[in-house]
Structure 1
């Protein structure tokens, strides 16, 4: 009887070992597949991230922040952030009563005010304006003087028409 108990215990232990070996093998295969899938996704995300970084660099090409030659014009002024300074000066033109003096149109719903500004280089600005319903864009030439005054000159303008 004692021999049979040891035999049954041995068989039970062998079955448990067999079960653990088979389930471990299956879990290993499943985990390997998961790892491969995740590696594929990571590679795709890396490619996508690289594409987005290139796109951002492309969009920043016409920007004063990334134009060392244009920034060199402002080295003697000791401005910490020339783009911000110029943008703030342009936004100050919105403070006048009525339409912004740089916008060559009369507001139809409200007064036309400048909303978004893109300082392209040391001479030009592209700006968006709106009255809440109608909008357009203006190209502005500017000059930042040694006394930190800024002169703005309208170069061209565009008002979008609504198509209903």
Structure 2
């Protein structure tokens, strides 16, 4: 009787060990497949990051911060690039507060009750900047030339402008 109990215990233990082995193997393989999926996603995301970094570098090509010649010119005049950009933006946005809209925009507002104002500015170098403007319905872009007077006064000159047609 004792030997039968040991035999049943041995068989039960063997079945338990086989069950644990199969279960562990299945869990291990599922984790391995999941890990491989994550590795593929990481590679995909790394590729996306590389594409975005290249795109960001391309966009930064025409900015004051990445033009060494323009930065040298500005520094010789005694300005810091970040402070100068902030000063230019502030000056242009202050012009938006005028009753008729920004006087640098060569188009009159066409939407009722609207006024042409500058929305976004990108300083290209130590002489030029590009802006977009709108009146709530119509919009366009400006290329401006700016100079800094001896007393630190900013002067703007419209080089060219464009008003996009509506559909």
SS at match of 2:118: strand
| Alpha-carbon contact 1:142-1:153 (below 8 Å) kept | yes
Where do 5+ consecutive residues of structure 2 fail to align? none
Cα distance per residue 1:104-153 (max 9 Å; x no partner): 11111211111111111111111111111111111100012343211100
SS at match of 1:60: helix
| Alpha-carbon contact 2:95-2:101 (below 8 Å) kept | no
Correspondences of 1:38-77 after superposition (within 5 Å): 38-75=38-75, 76-77=77-78
- Structure 1 141/156 Cα, relative in aligned 2: closer, same or farther at 3 Å? same
| Alpha-carbon contact 2:123-2:130 (below 8 Å) kept | yes
- Shift in Å, 1:99: 2.7
- Shift in Å, 1:162: 0.9
| Alpha-carbon contact 1:127-1:137 (below 8 Å) kept | yes
* Residue of structure 2 equivalent to 1:93: 95
| TM-score normalised by the chain length of structure 1 | 0.93
Choose from 135, 145, 149 the match for 1:145.
149
- Structure 1 38/51 Cα, relative in aligned 2: closer, same or farther at 3 Å? same
| TM-score normalised by the chain length of structure 2 | 0.91
Cα distance per residue 1:6-47 (max 9 Å; x no partner): 111111011000111111112111111111111111011101
| Alpha-carbon contact 1:65-1:83 (below 8 Å) kept | no
Correspondences of 1:1-164 after superposition (within 5 Å): 1-75=1-75, 76-79=77-80, 80-109=82-111, 110-163=114-167
Structure 1 vs Structure 2 CA RMSD: 1.4
- Shift in Å, 1:68: 2.3
1:9 and 1:37 mapped to 2: Cα distance?
Answer: 42
Number of residues of Structure 1 aligned to a counterpart in Structure 2: 163
2:84 and 2:132 mapped to 1: Cα distance?
Answer: 19
